[in-house]
Amino acid sequence: MEKVQRKQRDKEFIIDPGKKLHIIGKFLLKTDLLVRDTETHESVQLLSVNKDATKILVQGRMAEQFKLNAHIVLYKLLARYVELECEVLEEKPNNQYIMQVEHVSIASRERKFTRIKPPEGSVWITNLRTSRTTIDANLFNIPTSVKVNFADTERTLKPKFDIVKIDVFNSIGDKFDLVKKTGKILYIPNTQKPDCYKSSDPSGFIDYEHELGDEDDVRKKIIEYANQKIKSELIVPVIYINHDEQAIPIGYIHAQNKTREIDITEVMEIKTLTFDMVDRIRESNTILVKERFSVIDLSTGGLRVKINHPDLNSELPRRKGFTFDIFFKMQSPITAYGVVRSIARDTDGNLYVGLSLEGNSARPGERKRFTDNVNRMLSDSGVKVG
């Protein structure tokens, strides 16, 4: 089992052979241990352990349950979780296996959320949405869809202004760096009026007078614009919201007029236009998978799913998280954003993805509905809730 843990669970590794033998011999010997990252929660019985606690003999539950040299994790919940990380060394008759014990660990604290295995077919996820190409703040990789979108929008705006340019951010000057850093609009309706360098809405617009420094700096800028014959200027950032719910300033719309002022209504129209641009970019950069994937276990804090899909198997290990719909049988879907906490891949190529639910759903009350469903399952199984 190939495993990648995104967020390491706090655990104490037991190094001393005597302590290892004590834990295995007293608490695990002749008991059932679960096998990590198996869809049906496979288990084995621990039959014996050698004197230095480096090898164990286990009784499998099915023929050919493990392959030689496979790395597996056996675990049991006592007061805290105990894990044995093992390698399969030898297969014995009657589905018994000798395993090398590589690590023994105990969770540093109790699990925050109680997990439950849902009844088969009662919970699944679908409509998984993630990015085809990573678009990040460094802009190392700009998808072709972004460049095409920018070019199309620029052609649409050209007849409306004397000068128009739409491009990705580069180190091209203080004004553009300021727009990228703040995510705000730079708007100077009339470059020859000092009052136009101030902002009446600092939450959405840059106060350019403040950024320039003092009155002398503003006067120098007025002269600079006069020499360039620019009467009005506007720079609007294009803010991309990726599938990890990060806001990334990927580019800008730059408009200048030489003879007339750019009106505030035009500013709002261009700002709205950037939203449309981002929607189109997201749509072309999104993988949407409508297949169903079973939920192996879940808690009020998240869930673990089994996934096998040609696109997702290669993309999900590289993603921080993704959006999806959770279906409880006979209920409407719950839209959620899950942060990938762990990924394991079995020998058949299936992914076992552990997700913590974070962020807010687009529909109010959906997180509560998820929690209520999980608590109902816990209560039905005899677990005390609350």
| Tens-digit pLDDT profile for residues 345-372 | 877 788 899 999 986 555 668 888 999 9
CATH pick for 115-133+287-381 out of 3.30.70.3280, 3.40.1670.10, 2.40.10.220, 3.50.50.60: 2.40.10.220
Cα 271 from Cα 273, distance rounded (Å) = 5
Residue intervals of the chain classified under CATH 2.40.10.220 are 115-133+287-381
Q: What is the CATH number of domain 3-107?
A: 2.30.110.10
254: tokens are: 């730059």
Length of the chain as a residue count: 386
Residues 83-110, mean pLDDT to the nearest whole number: 91
Residues 206-227, mean pLDDT to the nearest whole number: 94
**pLDDT score, position 349:** 82
> What does residue 120 show for φ and ψ, rounded to 5 degrees?
-55, 130
Q: How confident is the model at residue 138 (pLDDT cuts 50, 70, 90)?
A: low
pLDDT exceeds 80 at position 234: yes
Please list the helix, strand and coil fractions of the chain in percent, rounded to the nearest 5, in that order: 25, 35, 35
Cα 161 from Cα 164, distance rounded (Å) = 6
Largest CA distance in the chain: 91
For residues 127 and 325, the answer to whether their CB atoms sit within 8 Å is yes
Residue intervals of the chain classified under CATH 3.30.450.40 are 144-285
> What does residue 69 show for φ and ψ, rounded to 5 degrees?
70, 5
Residues 132-151, mean pLDDT to the nearest whole number: 77
Geometric angle at alpha carbon 245, from 350 and 125, rounded to 5°:
35
pLDDT exceeds 60 at position 5: no
Quick one: which of 20, 168, 39 has its CA closest to 82?
Answer: 20
Q: Report the percent of the chain where pLDDT is more than 90.
A: 58
**pLDDT score, position 242:** 74
CATH superfamily, region 144-285: GAF domain (3.30.450.40)
pLDDT exceeds 80 at position 10: no
**pLDDT score, position 373:** 92
Bridge partner list, 304? 297, 354
Cα 24 from Cα 22, distance rounded (Å) = 6
Residue intervals of the chain classified under CATH 2.30.110.10 are 3-107
Cα 39 from Cα 195, distance rounded (Å) = 66
What is the sign, positive or negative, of the torsion defined by CA atoms of 275, 281, 287, 289?
positive
